Amino acid sequence: MNAPERIDPAARCANALRFLAADAVEQARSGHPGAPMGMAEMAEVVWRRHLRHNPANPAWPDRDRFVLSNGHASMLLYAVLHLSGYALPVAQLRQFRQLHAMTPGHPEVGVTPGIETTTGPLGQGLANAVGMALAEKLLAATFNRPGHAIVDHHTYVFLGDGCLMEGISHEAGSLAGTLGLGKLICLYDDNGISIDGEVSGWFADDTPRRFAAYGWHVIPDVDGHDAQAIDAAIVQARAQGERPTLICCKTVIGKGAPAKAGGHDVHGAPLGPQEIAAMRAALGWEAEPFAVPPDVAAAWDARAQGAEREAGWNARFACYSAAYPELAAEFLRRVEGRLPTAFEAGLTALLEAPSALHGKIATRKASQLTLEALTAALPELLGGSADLTGSNLTDVKASVWVNHAGQGNYVSYGVREFGMAAAMNGMALHGGLIPYGGTFMTFSDYSRNAIRMAALMRQRVIHVLTHDSIGLGEDGPTHQPVEHAASLRLIPNNQVWRPCDGVETALAWLAAVRRDNGPSCLLLSRQALTPFARDSGQLAGIRRGGYVLQDARTPQAVLIATGSEVEIAMRAAAFLAEEGIGARVVSMPCVELFHAQDAAYREAVLPAGVPRVSVEAGVTWFWRAVVGEGGATIGIDTFGESAPADALYQHFGLTPAHVADAVRALLGKP
């Protein structure tokens, strides 16, 4: 038998990725080997020749970001991280897809060192990367000074056919082109295969022309297995900084597998021991499963180079600090996610002094007043709206709309709710910004999966969701949220606030800004709401998610309400008081936060044995667990109607009289 032909060192580095991916999927008997094998050369070129990173410090602020949007190819990224020198030992590769391993089925930020974002729902990684690239551009415009470029990095993305089929790819791609995100470089794994087979039957887009129409710099027809061609394309992409780049790499899925390469069978199933053995023979790979030849391991090791690159940046940052000490301190504060020590002062003054915040106003307007106070103290706040600024009231006097040069603190996202939410996730992951964005609450359906991803990743992202009920009136059921509050509350680690007046709105904002381990959704009214007076204990209760707004000497029933329905509960309690029936009114602006309190506090607010009635202009089933057996729920279990708000509240029985009737029925007092 002839000795195998000598393989180029770069090709051996790519083959190491192929075999680690194939071996891990084989051992797990689960996973997707085809995409990692097909993208091996792409990964070798990006990670060994272009990506600026330091395995010893995955959080280095000026590192390049890498996003694997086609997250099912996770073993490619795990193999790269392991070989590059990240704290991901081979034992973890052997535990691929096993319980509590650092190598879950799809990449998860916070689980594996070096992972920048959690990917899996296709297309969202691309949108996250758009947010990261925008964050880089905005921070560079804020902090860089002549001769001192302390923010100067690229965002690289791998994506596949599935990412481009998802509609979010249009939203994200269009926005990136419009904003001229020139440091965003995407490599498209054009292998023509998805789970169902060859994509030509359901995906015949002219992708290069599509992205060119967005204003992207497009490099078509690159051989995805020719390392020199890939390298030349990336060099070309980096040379221009005015437009994002799409490099279209034609690849063979499962490249290297003698019998299965190029077919859909290799997409989402192990190759099998016979095919892996045949691949080892065909590629001249003599190493045992999970083993890497010493020369290949040495070629991949990026620790020395990474330390040198970070040291160079540290030296430049030291010079920057000497020249601009205040800017340097502010930069570090922001990238570390630390809030200014006195940022609450303006908001405290707003709460304590007589102001419009204490009047009868819509909570969306109270939100804007709160933002006026917060924005002055929190320069990292980055606002925006999905083409509803005048309705969401998400802008303030200091808002400057982001332009092509990367200047500004407010993004007009256009009608792109999903893209906005996913891009905000990318901004939060990048660091240095606290993003908030607005749309109508009913359109949270469009962005819900990105909200879920923010909760999963524990990112500080704030969603301003206005027009929160049938109270918006004549627009009708298409715009009137009914199930949305309950749906958003179902997302683990998501905090949903539905304030009843200006004070609750301001404190909801404060909680959302302070929260650094998950997203917050602020559900705000279009209609003006009646304000309520509170003592210090009640103000503290707002911060705990639920509290007694008004009590009776001997409560015979507890009325639990949120948002615009708190006033209805208060008026019902007044009716009942005239009849000698004592009703406690509990405002519960954040159900999740209330239930996170200790049992003693919950019992003090909702005493056992006292009948409960919930009042909210939404589906009632959510509240059944709160009111318990023997309680009553008042809400809306159908879709809305088109009519003035007052007529709708009468039509759906959201009235003080109806609430009072429910209490009488519970107490057996018709």
Catalytic residues: 417
Instruction: Tell me how far CA of residue 552 lies from CA of 432, 589, 634, in angstroms.
Output: 48, 21, 21
What secondary structure letter does DSSP report for 64?
P
In this structure, the strands spanning 381-385 and 495-497 are unpaired
Cβ neighbours of residue 333 closer than 8 Å, sequence gap 6 or more: 340
Under a CB-based contact definition with an 8 Å cutoff, are residues 363 and 469 in contact? no
Q: What are phi and psi of 165, to 5 degrees?
A: -75, -35
Give the tokens for residue 25: 């999927």
Region of residue 466 (left: phi > 0; alpha: psi -120 to 50; beta: else): beta
CA dist., res. 143 & res. 655, Å (int):
54
- Residue 162 burial class via C-beta count within 10 angstroms: exposed 0-12, middle 13-18, buried 19 and up: buried
DSSP-derived 3-state class of residue 640: coil
Give the tokens for residue 137: 């551009």
DSSP-derived 3-state class of residue 221: strand
Under a CB-based contact definition with an 8 Å cutoff, are residues 370 and 361 in contact? no
Under a CB-based contact definition with an 8 Å cutoff, are residues 550 and 594 in contact? no
Query: DSSP string of 463-527?
Result: EEEES-SGGG-TT-TTT--SSHHHHHHTSTT-EEE--SSHHHHHHHHHHHHH--SS-EEEE--SS
Angle (deg, nearest 10), helices 502-514 and 363-377: 40
CA angle 6, 8, 12 (to 5 degrees): 95
* Calculated CA dihedral for residues 14, 15, 17, 19, nearest 10 degrees: 170
CA dist., res. 30 & res. 185, Å (int):
30
User: What residue has token string 């005048």?
Assistant: 390
How many alpha carbons lie under 13 Å from residue 358 in its C-beta half-sphere?
A: 11
Instruction: Please give the distance of CA 130 from its chain centroid, rounded to a whole number.
Output: 12
Give the tokens for residue 622: 């959510």
Under a CB-based contact definition with an 8 Å cutoff, are residues 127 and 450 in contact? yes
CA angle 29, 35, 39 (to 5 degrees): 135
Region of residue 254 (left: phi > 0; alpha: psi -120 to 50; beta: else): left
